Amino acid sequence: MILLDNCPICQDGNLQKKFDCIDHSTSKEKFTIVSCETCEFNFTNPRPENNLLEKYYKSDAYISHTNNTEGLFNWMYHTVRKYAIKTKLNLLKKVSVRKNHLDIGCGTGEFLNACKISGYNTKGIEPSELARKQAINNFNLSVNEKTELDQFKNNEFDSISMWHVLEHVPSLHKTIKGLNRILSDNGKILIAVPNNKSWDAGYYKEYWAGWDVPIHLWHFSQINIEKLFNKYNFNLVVKKPMLFDSFYVSLLSEEFKSGRKKYIKGFTIGLISNIIGMLTNRGHSSTIYVFEKNKAF
């Protein structure tokens, strides 16, 4: 296990245990979330060694299942996914008209393919073999298995997306420094992460699906993700709620808490969270942040 003695954002060593969470998706093992006393950043601590994390990821059968379009639930899943891809693409077009785009953790390639059709020169990174093969075979995309950013040249990309990926990367500092190096001046990075200050996170506490231990190593709020990127000379330029995530996360959390699928309750909590997210500064269950790279670093 890897045990951090300091907060990776503010370096403070005063870490308090928040609570234990169960890995509901795969191992059923228990992991501890700690909170930094100074900046309130939460992270999974201790966590499995990097080479042992792989076994906690959902199996390849999961990917095959989610590409199945039969049944009402799958139909809904695919409709929401289509809408989410369109929303993300519109956001990318709005913030970056320049053309070289990298999608880190591109999965089976649906978003990257939409970028390619819109005229972006695309590259992807995807460590899962089955997902990567689907992206390459279905859409003829350029997707690399290797996750290290040192494979790319300085200023190679005008925009980079990481949809629910940053919370999984073992080294935040190495990754964000690498993102800064491979982005062109004023280049944009689009990041979606769960927000542990959302109302649904507070309601479900240790049962909140957004903790997703141990594969979610870092648990961001709007305040500390901005602080982290400011350290690497990025400015926050856009913040956008992911409204469907509140429902999905609440349905899943409800199941973790009660052991049963409770659609109406999950939907209600998701709805309340979205309304509170709109009316207060707590934010939504998941948020997309767009950071711009400042010129001089």
Q: Which residues bind Zn ion (CB under 5 A)?
A: 7, 9-10, 12, 36, 38-39, 41
C-alpha 171/C-alpha 182 separation (Å) is 17
**How many CB atoms are located within 10 Å of the residue 196 CB?**
25
289 membership: H or E segment, kind and range: strand 286-293
Comparison of 231 and 239: residue with beta carbon closer to Zn ion: 231
Nearest approach, Cβ of 44 to Zn ion (angstroms)? 15
**Minimum CB separation from Zn ion for residue 207, in Å?**
25
Per DSSP, the residues of 208-224 read -GGG-TTT--EE--HHH
CB closer to Zn ion out of 9 and 182: 9
Q: Which is nearer to Zn ion, 5 or 70 (CB)?
A: 5
Q: Which is nearer to Zn ion, 227 or 262 (CB)?
A: 227
Q: Which is nearer to Zn ion, 36 or 102 (CB)?
A: 36
Nearer to Zn ion, 2 or 136 (CB): 2
Buried b (16+ CB within 10 A) or exposed e, 253-276: bbbbbeeeebeeebeebbeebbeb
Compare residues 224 and 274 and give the one whose CB is closer to Zn ion.
224
| DSSP 8-state class, residue 150 | G
CB-based contact 105:63 (threshold 8 Å): no
In the bound complex, what is the minimum distance in angstroms from residue 146's beta carbon to Zn ion?
31
Other CB atoms within 10 Å distance of the CB of residue 162: 22
Which of 103, 74, 76, 98 shows the shortest CA–CA distance to 88?
A: 103
State the minimum distance, in angstroms, from the CB of residue 35 to Zn ion: 9
Secondary structure, 3-state, 175-203: HHHHHHHHEEEEEEEEEEEECCCCHHHHH
Euclidean distance between CA atoms 89 and 32, whole angstroms: 36
Count of other CB atoms within 10 angstroms of residue 99: 14
